Amino acid sequence: MNTSLMYSPLATFLIVVACNSSTKNETAGQPVPLGDWEAPDVEISTLNFDQMPFKKLSEYGFFKGKIREFDPGNGVLLYEPVSSLFTDYAFKTRYIWMPEEASATIQDDPEGTFDFPEKTVLVKNFYYPADFRKPSEHIRVIETRIMVKKDGTWQAFPYLWNEEQTDAHYKAVGAEVPVNWVDDQGQEQLLNYIVPNQAQCKSCHNSEEVMVPLGVKAKHLNHDLPGKENQLIAWEVAGYLEGLKPLHEYPAMVSYNDTSSDLELRAKAYLDINCAHCHRAEGPASTSGLFLNYEETDPAKLGVFKTPVAAGFGAGSFTYAIWPGKSDESILTYRMGTNQVGAAMPEIGRGMVHSEGMELIKAWIDAMPEESFQHLSADK
């Protein structure tokens, strides 16, 4: 294999992305015309779960007709966490399905973790509109990930969409897909989107080495969908939640996009959904002692004057995860701001810097008065 030939197009992508270039790039080629194929109706409750994963997404019946339009099948319910993981600016839609007569309960823990019944299915679509200023037009779906609870454990299956956008095929080994779009500022963007391999799902969906869903907890869902009611209520109405107590008894995270919310809560909401799946006591990054979940209140565990453990070059030229008041000298923002594999955080799912997220975390760190944390520093 000639590696130099393979390197150059990738390098071009990276340069274009890095420079946030507004020049048109011709390498993405002409789009393939959309297909007209419509999926036959499938009743999800009749599926044989033992035979999953199916070869094609259309076989599940999650979406009807032209499945790229995400017209939900029987019992398929849209939901949305209040704050969402950054995945290279991909748009996402999420759906849940449960069998008749089955429902989840909310456990009595600080996050409001759900206890899901057997055969619960979570579906998540990743797509890019051609122009982010017209988010419902000219959509290109890249991948759909589904999580199924069977035999008491969750399993995850990635599906890669075809170019005609008629269906997606089960693809365990992952893929790379060039994607381009015009962003909110009218700038052309180009990216080599990485579809993770199936085993990488557990890099994030992991609590004590058991696969778990992430966004379906009370703290993420205890809020209204735009123009609709609170999602916990919506789930209860759909029959997907039982034993629901008054909503104020459940935790509720803020939206990190909501500039009317407290800066610290927004920053911690961002860190929770983007980092805390690993950076928590039960997660794979517990090795670091850096815990970034919303419930964490110990500044030392959140990274204030905390030296790294196994960060290697991920530490850049910096000493502490967070140096209060000095976002430009904090490892946290350094790792959010680099695309170098091995240093970039999160480790997977990001090939671009989330500049809006960076600004939020920087503002939070810069607003920390250093003297308030002097007791944690070396020169106390």
Residues near other proteins (CB under 8 A) are 1, 3, 6, 172-174, 176, 192, 194, 196-200, 202-203, 209-210, 281, 284, 286-289, 300-301, 305-320, 331, 340-344, 347-351, 376-378, 380
Nearer to other proteins, 175 or 238 (CB): 175
Integer Cα distance of 145 and 170 in angstroms: 9
Taking a C-beta distance cutoff of 8 angstroms, is the pair 145, 157 a contact? yes
Separation of alpha carbons 166 and 221, rounded Å: 31
Nearer to other proteins, 11 or 247 (CB): 11
Taking the C-alpha atoms of residue 277 and residue 203, their distance in angstroms, rounded to an integer, is 9
* Closest CB to other proteins among residues 48, 317: 317
- Least CB distance to other proteins at residue 334 (A): 10
Comparing CB distances to other proteins, the nearer of 103 and 203 is 203
Q: Tell me the residue length of the chain.
A: 380
Query: DSSP 3-state assignment of 64?
Result: strand
240/318 with CB nearer other proteins:
318
Distance in Å, CB of 312 to other proteins, minimum? 3
In whole angstroms, the minimum distance from the beta carbon of 353 to other proteins comes to 14
Beta carbon of residue 65, minimum distance to other proteins (angstroms, whole number): 32
Nearer to other proteins, 248 or 380 (CB): 380
In degrees to the nearest 10, what's the CA dihedral of 375, 376, 377, 380? 20
CA distances from 352 to 11, 12, 194, 280, 332 (A): 14, 14, 11, 24, 16
Closest approach, Cβ 315 to other proteins, in A, equals 4
The secondary structure of 177-236 as a DSSP string is EEEEEE-TTS-EEEEEEEEPPGGGHHHHSEETTEE--SS-BHHHHSSBPTTS-BHHHHHH
In the bound complex, what is the minimum distance in angstroms from residue 172's beta carbon to other proteins?
A: 5
The 3-state DSSP class for residue 333 equals helix
